[in-house]
Amino acid sequence: MQGKTVDNSIEKDFLGCLPELPPVMEKFIELTRELNISKNSYANILLNDPLLSSRIFTYINKVLNPSKSGYISVNKGVSLMGLHKFKNVVLAFSSFPVFQEADCVELFKYSLLTAYYSKDIAAQFKLINPHDAFLLGFLHDIGKIAMKNKFGSKYLITSIEDAKEVKIYTQEEEVAEFGYCHADLSEYICRRWNLPIVVTDSIRYHHFPLDAMLPQAASIIYLADLLAHKNNKITKESQKVFQYMQLSKSQIAPYSAGGMKKLIPYYEILDIN
């Protein structure tokens, strides 16, 4: 179900509430449009943000150098991790202040978990590029930040620790109570950030993935969402998605075991729990 999707209405009603793309990611996106860019160019962007650079350096050495024999530089980390994985890690760390300032740390944790589930499912079943799947999973609920900024404590945020304490809205309930649904806002925000239409469209339809331009991409988010919500309920929509993807709930269930472990370095570096 769609809420008010006219761009002018969103800009007016959510003035000052829409999250901005982190400057580092804006520069990363600009670089991807250029040819023959070295990996070092991406690492060098971090030099303008000492706190972010420190966090990325710490992450690289926690994950790639657990024995702490010497240290791995950020430039070396890009080579070892690969550019796509590096950009995903930078996306997560550079976006954290956006979530933190909106009092949406729980949403950050949930978005990061969904991103890793999306990436793992995509990689295992070779459905879409796993790094693209990470991006989709991480940004699919970015519209909730706008909702939280506008409606404050009235708008409750999903927790991955205790789902009993929070409200999980359907899109119909969001529109009825707030006049907008988070999926439409997420799509609009990602368009403002100049992300490709295949990204924005998949995010818009992540609750009804078979309506998307690329149903496989939107379905990846949908399935990862089920895992992150620990949702065992089979609905008509989930039945359709599993049938379309030729997957079963039991096939994706094993990914719920390893997903949380991947969040531990982020929790430690960002001092969240």
Does residue 2 surpass a pLDDT of 50?
Answer: no
CA Rg value for the chain: 18
Of the candidates 102, 65, 249, the residue with the CA atom closest to the CA atom of residue 185: 102
Tabulate helix, strand, coil % of the chain (nearest 5).
70, 0, 30
Of the candidates 184, 214, 204, 224, the residue with the CA atom closest to the CA atom of residue 9: 184
Taking phi over 0 as left and psi of -120 to 50 as alpha, with beta for the rest, 19 belongs to beta
Which range among 48-52, 116-120, 167-171 shows the weakest confidence by mean pLDDT? Answer: 167-171
Domains annotated on the chain, with CATH: 1-19+103-268 (1.10.3210.10), 21-101 (no CATH)
Amino acid at residue number 33: R
- pLDDT tens, 149-163? 999 989 988 667 655
Amino acid at residue number 49: D
Residue that wins the pLDDT comparison between 34 and 267? 267
Of the candidates 228, 222, 262, 260, the residue with the CA atom closest to the CA atom of residue 242: 222
